[in-house]
Amino acid sequence: MGVFSTSLRTHTCGELRAKNEGERVTLTGWVHSHRDHGGVIFIDLRDRFGITQIVFEPAHNQELHKEAEKIRREWVIQVEGVVRKRTPGMENPKIPTGEIEILADKLTILNKSKTPPFEIEDREKLTEETRFRYRYLDLRRPSMFKKLYFRHKAAQVVRNFLSENGFVEVETPMLVKSTPEGARDFIVPSRLHPGKFYALPQSPQLYKQILMVAGIDRYFQLARCLRDEDLRADRQPEHTQIDFEMSYVEEKDIHNLVENLMKKLFKELLGIDLETPFPRLTYKDAMLYYGSDKPDLRFDLKIVDVTDIVKDSEFSVFKSVVEKGGVVRCIAPKGEFSRKDLDDYIAFAQKNGAKGMAWMRYTEKGLESNIVKYFPEEIQQKLIERVKPEVGSVLMFIADKEKLTAEVIGKLRLKVAEDKGYIPDDPNLFKFVWIVDFPLFEWDEEKRKWEPAHHMFTMPKKEFIGKLKDDPGSVICSQFDLVLNGVELGSGSIRINDPKIQEEVMEVVGFPKEVAYERFGFLLKAFEYGAPPHGGMGLGFDRLVALMQGENDIREVIAFPKTSSGVSLIDDSPSEVTTEQLEELHIKIVKPK
Report 316-375 residues binding its own copies (CB under 8 A): none
Tell me the closest approach of the beta carbon of residue 223 to its own copies, in angstroms: 10
Taking the least distance from each CB to its own copies, the nearer of 352 and 564 is 564
H/E segment holding residue 199: strand 197-199
Binding residue for its own copies, selected from 206, 331, 456, 477, defined by CB under 8 A:
206
Per CB under 8 A, contacts with its own copies among 237-296 are: 237-238, 240, 246-250, 252-253
- Tell me whether residue 571 is exposed, middle or buried, using C-beta atoms within 10 angstroms of its C-beta: 0 to 12, 13 to 18, 19 or more: exposed
Binding mask 139-168 for its own copies (x = CB under 8 A): xx----x--xx-xx--xx--xx--xxxx-x
Tell me the closest approach of the beta carbon of residue 70 to its own copies, in angstroms: 15
Tell me the closest approach of the beta carbon of residue 429 to its own copies, in angstroms: 28
Q: Establish if 118 lies at the interface with its own copies (CB under 8 A).
A: no
Q: Establish if 174 lies at the interface with its own copies (CB under 8 A).
A: yes
Q: Establish if 233 lies at the interface with its own copies (CB under 8 A).
A: no
Whether the Cβ atoms of residue 240 and residue 225 lie closer than 8 Å to each other: yes
DSSP 3-state of 52: strand
Q: Establish if 213 lies at the interface with its own copies (CB under 8 A).
A: yes
Per CB under 8 A, contacts with its own copies among 466-525 are: 497-498, 522
Tell me the closest approach of the beta carbon of residue 213 to its own copies, in angstroms: 4
Helices 513-527 and 499-508 pack at an angle, to 10 degrees, of 150
Tell me the closest approach of the beta carbon of residue 469 to its own copies, in angstroms: 22
Task: Please give the Cα distance from 477 to 501 (Å, whole number).
Answer: 12
Taking the least distance from each CB to its own copies, the nearer of 255 and 411 is 255
Q: Establish if 126 lies at the interface with its own copies (CB under 8 A).
A: no
Tell me the closest approach of the beta carbon of residue 568 to its own copies, in angstroms: 7
Binding residue for its own copies, selected from 44, 185, 259, 400, defined by CB under 8 A:
185
CB atoms within 10 A of CB 193: 10
Q: How far apart are the first and last CA of the chain?
A: 65
Residue 517 DSSP code: H
Taking the least distance from each CB to its own copies, the nearer of 135 and 329 is 135
Vertex 377, ends 374 and 379: CA angle to 5°? 75
Per CB under 8 A, contacts with its own copies among 531-560 are: 531-533, 558-560
Q: How far is CA 198 from the centre of its chain?
A: 28
Give the helix ranges, DSSP H, for 367-473: 377-387, 402-419
Whether the Cβ atoms of residue 46 and residue 8 lie closer than 8 Å to each other: no
Tell me the closest approach of the beta carbon of residue 423 to its own copies, in angstroms: 31
- Peptide bond connecting 204 to the previous residue in cis, omega within 30 degrees of 0: no
Binding residue for its own copies, selected from 20, 52, 53, 172, defined by CB under 8 A:
172
Taking the least distance from each CB to its own copies, the nearer of 261 and 354 is 261
Q: Which stretch binds its own copies (CB under 8 A): 4-12, 98-106, 302-310, 365-373?
A: 4-12
Tell me the closest approach of the beta carbon of residue 25 to its own copies, in angstroms: 13
- Peptide bond connecting 277 to the previous residue in cis, omega within 30 degrees of 0: yes
Q: Establish if 584 lies at the interface with its own copies (CB under 8 A).
A: yes
H/E segment holding residue 225: strand 218-226
Taking the least distance from each CB to its own copies, the nearer of 248 and 443 is 248
> 270-286 burial by CB neighbour count: b if 16+ within 10 A, else e?
eeeebeeebebbebbeb
Binding mask 40-69 for its own copies (x = CB under 8 A): -------xxx--------------------
Whether the Cβ atoms of residue 453 and residue 489 lie closer than 8 Å to each other: no
What 3 state SS string does 288-344 have?
HHHCCCCCCCCCCCCCEECHHHHCCCCCHHHHHHHHCCCEEEEECCECCCCHHHHHH
Taking the least distance from each CB to its own copies, the nearer of 153 and 334 is 153
Binding residue for its own copies, selected from 16, 41, 45, 137, defined by CB under 8 A:
137
Binding residue for its own copies, selected from 18, 103, 170, 423, defined by CB under 8 A:
170
Q: What is the CA radius of gyration of the chain?
A: 30
Per CB under 8 A, contacts with its own copies among 388-417 are: none
Binding residue for its own copies, selected from 25, 216, 406, 509, defined by CB under 8 A:
216
Alpha carbons within 13 angstroms on the beta-carbon side of residue 364 total: 0
Task: Please give the Cα distance from 46 to 37 (Å, whole number).
Answer: 20
CB atoms within 10 A of CB 480: 26
Per CB under 8 A, contacts with its own copies among 24-43 are: 28, 30
**Phi, psi of 487, deg, nearest 5:** -120, 135
Taking the least distance from each CB to its own copies, the nearer of 152 and 351 is 152
Binding residue for its own copies, selected from 187, 270, 272, 384, defined by CB under 8 A:
187
Residue 591 DSSP code: -
Q: Establish if 129 lies at the interface with its own copies (CB under 8 A).
A: no
Q: Establish if 97 lies at the interface with its own copies (CB under 8 A).
A: no
Whether the Cβ atoms of residue 546 and residue 536 lie closer than 8 Å to each other: no
**Phi, psi of 301, deg, nearest 5:** 45, 60
Whether the Cβ atoms of residue 487 and residue 297 lie closer than 8 Å to each other: no
**Count of residues engaged in binding its own copies, rule: CB under 8 A:** 131
CB atoms within 10 A of CB 21: 13
Among 269, 268, 266, residue whose Cα is nearest residue 258 = 266
Q: Which stretch binds its own copies (CB under 8 A): 53-61, 236-244, 366-374, 432-440?
A: 236-244
Taking the least distance from each CB to its own copies, the nearer of 6 and 428 is 6
Tell me the closest approach of the beta carbon of residue 559 to its own copies, in angstroms: 5
Q: Which residues contact 592 (CB under 8 A, 6 or more apart)?
A: none
Per CB under 8 A, contacts with its own copies among 435-474 are: none
Q: Establish if 570 lies at the interface with its own copies (CB under 8 A).
A: yes
Tell me the closest approach of the beta carbon of residue 314 to its own copies, in angstroms: 54
Taking the least distance from each CB to its own copies, the nearer of 75 and 430 is 75
Q: Establish if 562 lies at the interface with its own copies (CB under 8 A).
A: yes
Taking the least distance from each CB to its own copies, the nearer of 237 and 392 is 237
Taking the least distance from each CB to its own copies, the nearer of 410 and 535 is 535
Task: Please give the Cα distance from 45 to 420 (Å, whole number).
Answer: 45
Tell me the closest approach of the beta carbon of residue 284 to its own copies, in angstroms: 24
